[in-house]
Amino acid sequence: MRLLLLSLILLAAPVAAAEPMPTLLGNTAIHDPSIIVTDTGWASFATGVERAADGGTVRTKSSPDGITWTETGALPGGMPAWVKKELGFLPRNIWAPTVSMHGGIAYLYYSVSSFGRNNSVIGLMTNTAFDATRPAEGWEDQGLVFRSRRDDWLNAIDPFRIDVGDRAFLAFGSYWDGIRMIELDPTTGLRKGEEIPLRLASRNGEAIEASTIVEHDGKFYLFVSFDACCKGLASTYRIMVGRADTVEGPYLDRDGKAMLDGGGTELLASTGRYIGPGGQEVFDVNGAPWLVFHYYDGDAGGTPKLQLAPLGWSADGWPELGALP
């Protein structure tokens, strides 16, 4: 009970130091989580189940406090009809959604592809009456935001939206040339202009994905996952970070190496039963940035599970994480 009360206190107030991560309860099985916190509670969105009866659509969970989680089902309607027409095949599931609130509207970006291919699309759904207690309800699909093709040296998966002033941006990418970014129309949430996507980070074709960006004290921090996901106990995912003066970069790691040249400062790697942490995203709790990620539980045969972490900051302005549960 004492640990639970401590966790509730941590969830209720912004933090500056790296506080311990809370122990989560209930249904925490998840992959590629995204979290939103509203006055109606907490909700998570995640990669769909392959070849499920629901069409592999985005899975949701709900929580009143960020501690105890309940499964609330998949988004109804199956795979959006435009996806098969655009890609030329019926995908197994929807990947790595990201949810955020802008101007009272909830925006849910998602990606659809197949393993090892970059014939991929990013789509958008919106919700004008989002309720965290019923997170699967009320979504309207807005169609294609961006796509990549087999002859492109980029991959349109793992989207993340960040608004800076009156502008909005979408970071995305995986393998190939790494992490890219496009500008969005802040209101429609769709792509603004046709400029070549800006390069943010690369490992020259090696594993880098799951980008997320947060602004802190006038600096921008780009979090990514290096190495291999989706292999259960053999997963080698690890969370890396770099910093820039503007959202467009250039992002450098703590040693000054450019993330476009493979740089990145390790924030979290496999520790004990927490195997392959990654698929991370930054979200807001009462004005303070938190990190959500999945890991493969070494005590549960490699089942992917949810973990939340308040971000702390070092004296020289680098993000830190507290102790795992």
Provide the whole-model pTM.
Answer: 0.94
Class of domain 2-320: mainly beta
Token pair for 51: 């070849």
- Active-site residues, by number, are 32, 209
Q: 128 has which bridge partners?
A: none
Q: Which residues of 153-183 are buried (b: 16+ CB within 10 A; e: fewer)?
A: ebbbbbbbbbbeeeebbbbbbbbbbbbbbbb
The domain segmentation of the chain, as residue ranges, is: 2-320
What does each of the 325 residues of the chain score in pLDDT, given as a tens digit? 434 434 444 444 444 578 999 999 999 999 999 999 999 999 999 999 998 989 999 999 999 999 999 999 999 999 999 999 999 999 999 999 999 999 999 999 999 999 999 999 999 999 999 999 999 999 999 999 999 999 999 999 999 999 999 999 999 999 999 999 999 999 999 999 999 999 999 999 999 999 999 999 999 999 999 999 999 999 999 999 999 999 999 999 999 999 999 999 999 999 999 999 999 999 999 999 999 999 999 999 999 999 999 999 999 999 999 999 9
Residue 196 CB-half CA count within 13 A: 5
Residue 37, CB half-sphere, CA atoms under 13 Å: how many? 18
